A and B are shown apart, each in its own frame.
Chain A
Amino acid sequence: MNARLAAAWALLPEYLGWHVLLSASALVLGVAISLPLAVAASRSPRLRWPVLAGASLIQTIPSLALLALFYPLLLAISALSRSLIGHGFAALGFLPSLLALTLYSMLPILRNGAAGILGVDPAVKEAADGVGMTPRQRLFQVELPLAAPVIMAGVRTAAVWTIGAATLSTPVGQTSLGNYIFAGLQTENWVFVLFGCAASAGLALIADQLLGLVEAGARRRSRTLTLTGLAGLAVGVALALLPLAGVGKPGSYVIGAKNFSEQYILADLMAQRLQDAGASVQRKEDLGSAVAYRALAAGEIDAYVDYSGTLWTNVLQRTDNPGRKPVLDQLTAELKRRDGVLVLGSLGFENAYAFVMRPDRAAALHIASIADLAREAPHLTLGSDLEFLSRPEWKAVQSAYGLRFRTQRSYQPTFMYRALSGGEADVISAFSSDGRIAADKLVVLSDPKGAIPPYDAVVLISPKRAHDARLLSALEPLIGKIPVEAMRDANLSVDRDQAKATPAEAAKALRAKLGL
């Protein structure tokens, strides 16, 4: 418990720094866009409705989806700008998160801004005209100062929303306090999940109180209060950003990881080897499968581990299965040709999709293979991870065996195993390198028709790092060196309920065991 808490504390400066940088930038940008819009909306009833309705509409989009939508959008714009002016930009990480959160912060500022300006006493507005103010002078000397408390209340609401929603920028590759929550959810590290929630809530509370001082200052027309609040905000942001001064140096390597324990462990393993070689390393974790590969091809991450079958079906869109070696060879040639991506080689183990059952259920129903499963499937419930049912492998298996389940349910991988042991699912789509299969003595159903492609774990290197000697010399010794048993043990040490290890500890233990 203490070790995990210590691990969480150690990550806080970096996560908090990014979280503050992201939320503060989004809020500043949100205010800069929303205030002029609010002024325009307060002047023109014809504009007011569409502006406020538009902002409300944005608010109805789930924030995670809004963040996710900006990635493909920016990718397209980046490709366009690369073809037009020869320069692209990063479509992953900070930029999509910033834009989505900015949009998200606008509604309360717009609403309160328009209401605040419209709420200024008409007699005072008439007096402002009467004493000879220009419309601009009236706005800046009378209307905005008088609407300031209402506007600040909107900014406060926006700040709390933005800080909360910023935890969702982790899956689009932006480090934030959400890293605790997403990683903790995957590895059942509840200390991390709680720590992330507490840190984000604490940050929101502090920001809310400081903005509250500014608001009270505006309301009571106390310059001291306003300045105290603003100074507190400035000092807080500066302190939070201090630890970031060291990261993001141009020389640092970015290691990516998808959202499950094995990925965290392997990313830690690669990062530790690079750091031992004196390199500085950044991490982008919890990426979706498609996002991870595209980010690598675009050079936004330098290296990560993917699986041959995933690339075969998702990237090359192949549905055939010529066998383990040909898949790897063709993949190496095709990815280099298409995207300039270097397939450094297989780590030495496979992590295939496997249909897995509890031994008692399998025995009772006489199921040993997927063909047997197809016979009983109409009475059974399939539990899968969040992506499996939309992946081409599932379609391939389904059509090869004529699989049709009574119900299908999707879970986070961790909860999928819980569902199997609790009987909510009869069969699950597991990963063959998962330590929980052996630990729980689960039955892996055979695939007599070879419908599931091979899934060798391969190290991928981005085009711009394909000839980077330091990166290659740090990662090449890993090729072919990790047997599936060692990986299973490492995965189990992170996933089990008792005596859990962090992914970094598991990576260290793996290195020690294999001499890497």
Chain B
Amino acid sequence: MAGAIELSGIVKRYGGHVALAGVSLVVQPGEFTALVGGSGSGKTTLLKTINGLVTPDAGEVRVQGETASAQPPYILRRKIGYVFQEIGLFPHMSVAENIAITPKLLGWAPDRIAARVATLLDLVVLPKDVAARAPSELSGGQRQRVGVARALAAEPKIMLMDEPFGALDPLTRDQLGSDYRALHERLGLTTLMVTHDMAEAVLLADRIVVLAAGRILADGRPAELLATTADPEVRALLEAPKRQADRLRARLAGEGA
């Protein structure tokens, strides 16, 4: 079976600095994959090569079987949802206009767009009356829900997310994460999510890909990775959330006693 996303031998340099040193990765349809790694590991750059926000110096990107460079990047991007930490809602448009943007670019009929906006507000659990509001009137969590709705508007099969919940408070972050995981299941999406938070990766993803210095260091299901990896750095990364949880439990128990 062909992968939803196939990357082979991706190289990207910025001046003398090598951001990606020949990365190959196949993401299967329906998979929820987390790309983890420290800052400068190349995870964001790798994500952006998929929707053409970054053009690789060498290597091939195939999305749903088609070579990415064979079409104008904007055609490709209309078929891929993109959510990032800064959200980037258009401040001069209402929430509804923000959500409707990609369907409008694709030339959907106005009533189909209106129906789609209503459906999406339900999907991301936002009340109907935010549709007419300006993005500046929403809370951070509501804004990112609009960001997710905008990315899903044109019914893409693939979602790329770059630290999507990174700027939110822990409660909102947890809620939004599990809400999105449910959407992933319900809509049968293929999701590739960049995060530096291993706990989030373990909680949400089916598969974790660890990057360091522009190379894949480890790749597998969370449990399987922990069991098999010999790399001390990967092991430390994977064990961090568990250690944190143990410490939390110990401290909370100690205070209760």
Residues on A close to B: CB < 8 A? Answer: 121, 123-134, 137, 142, 145-146, 221
30 A-B pairs (CB sep. < 8 Å):
A121-B91, A123-B84, A123-B86, A124-B89, A124-B90, A124-B91, A126-B53, A126-B84, A126-B88, A127-B88, A127-B90, A128-B88, A129-B53, A129-B74, A130-B51, A130-B77, A130-B84, A130-B88, A130-B151, A131-B77, A131-B101, A131-B105, A131-B150, A132-B77, A132-B78, A132-B105, A132-B154, A134-B74, A146-B91, A146-B92
Contact B77 A129 (CB under 8 A): yes
CB distance from B152 to the nearest CB of A (A): 11
Q: Note all chain B residues with C-beta closer than 8 A to A126.
A: 53, 84, 86, 88
B138 within 8 A of A: no
- B78, B88, B92, B150: the one within 8 Å of A123 (CB): B88
Given contacts A145-B92, A146-B91, A146-B92, contact A133 B105 (CB under 8 A): yes
Question: Which residue, B53, B72, B88, has most C-beta atoms of chain A within 10 A?
Answer: B88
Q: Note all chain A residues with C-beta closer than 8 A to B151.
A: 130-131
CB distance from A140 to the nearest CB of B (A): 12
Q: Note all chain B residues with C-beta closer than 8 A to A142.
A: 90, 92
* Number of residue pairs A-B, CB distance < 8 angstroms: 64
Contact B53 A130 (CB under 8 A): yes
Contact B90 A130 (CB under 8 A): no
Contact B91 A130 (CB under 8 A): no
B82 within 8 A of A: yes
Q: Note all chain B residues with C-beta closer than 8 A to A133.
A: 74, 101, 105
Contact A123 B87 (CB under 8 A): yes
A145–B91 alpha-carbon span in the complex (Å): 10
> 6 new A-B pairs (CB below 8 Å) besides A124-B88, A131-B105?
A125-B88, A129-B73, A129-B74, A130-B77, A130-B88, A132-B105
Q: Note all chain A residues with C-beta closer than 8 A to B72.
A: 134
B102 within 8 A of A: yes
Q: Note all chain A residues with C-beta closer than 8 A to B76.
A: 132
Q: Note all chain A residues with C-beta closer than 8 A to B86.
A: 123, 126
CB distance from B64 to the nearest CB of A (A): 15
Top 10 A-B pairs ranked by shortest CB distance? A127-B88, A132-B78, A123-B86, A130-B82, A123-B88, A132-B77, A132-B74, A131-B102, A124-B88, A145-B92
CB distance from B52 to the nearest CB of A (A): 8
Q: Note all chain B residues with C-beta closer than 8 A to A134.
A: 72, 74
Question: Which residue, B102, B106, B134, has most C-beta atoms of chain A within 10 A?
Answer: B102
B182 within 8 A of A: no
Contact B105 A137 (CB under 8 A): yes
Contact B82 A131 (CB under 8 A): yes
A121–B134 alpha-carbon span in the complex (Å): 16
Closest to A218 in B: B92
A186–B86 alpha-carbon span in the complex (Å): 64
Q: Note all chain B residues with C-beta closer than 8 A to A125.
A: 88
Closest to A126 in B: B88
Interface string of B65-104 (1 = CB under 8 A from A): 0000000111111100010101111111000000001100
